[in-house]
Amino acid sequence: MKWIALLSMMLLMPRYLRASVVVLNGLTHNHSIPTASTKVQGTIKVKNDGGKDSRILVYRQDLVSECDQQAAYPEVGSHSRSLGLGLKTNIDERVIATSEEYDVRYTIEADPNRQPGTYWEVIMVEVADPVREESHRGIQINSKVRYAIQVIVDIGPAEGPPLSYEKVTYEKVAAEQSVLKVVLKNNGAYGARTNVILEVYDSNGNKLKTTQPNTRMLYPGSCSTFEIPVTDVPKGKYDCVIIADTKKDLFGSNISLQVE
């Protein structure tokens, strides 16, 4: 009965006891500049939709995605295409009043030593106050919100990068649910937002299914794992084509798929 009472109190908690900071203009900011000597400026628009003032923390980290591994956020300057200390923000922390909109401004200093290609880093916007606090068996649990805003800079005319299929695996995740995991690697100097689809054919060459595009960012020298749900396909063996579309080039791979 104690847990039921506690749950009811949480559900009926008035809105003014919560803080809710949101990012209004997206989690990916792209910039294209002709040369490395060009300075970049940008804005991250945040708003406090909650019922009380809330403090945000703003800091920078790298984003690294190794093949067949989860994305990691090491310290800035961890790889050769990091924006490094050249990415600066106008604040490190600030209290956002309820219903207030605020612009977190950032600049990227010109670096003539940078070669043409894609460079990137992540600006973290973290709500310092917990969104929810609860205690379970003597352990205090805090739930916080943290946004990772990718800042991407293309120097020079962006070129379609060569991609390679590093790994393709079929996994059954539930009784009626399966997924095809496709690991793609970017072997070029420029990043590319890539769509991946799966075409399924029967033994007579008739197309049975085309999946919806699965879209992810592929950074130079990095990998991304595209998870493609395989549903509404009866058990059996099929010929399939995986197509990766960078909007500049198409990369295909033929596979045999055994649906169980």
Provide the pLDDT for residue 12: 36
- Domains 17-155 and 163-259 alike in fold: yes
Provide the pLDDT for residue 136: 54
Beta bridge partners of 112: none
Provide the pLDDT for residue 128: 87
Provide the pLDDT for residue 133: 54
Provide the pLDDT for residue 11: 34
Provide the pLDDT for residue 142: 62
Q: Which two tokens stand for residue 152?
A: 């991407």
Q: What is the pTM of this model?
A: 0.84
Provide the pLDDT for residue 41: 97
CATH 2.40.50.1020 applies to domain 17-155: no
To the nearest 10°, the Cα dihedral for 207, 210, 216, 217? 40
Provide the pLDDT for residue 9: 32
Residue whose C-alpha is closest to residue 82's, from 150, 156, 28: 150
Residues of the chain falling short of pLDDT 70: 1-19, 130-143
Sheet arrangement for strand 146-155: 28-33, 146-155, 117-127, 54-61, 93-96
Domain locations in the chain as residue ranges:
17-155, 163-259
Using CA atoms, how far apart are residues 151 and 185, in angstroms rounded to an integer?
20
- The CATH superfamily label for domain 163-259 reads Immunoglobulins (2.60.40.10)
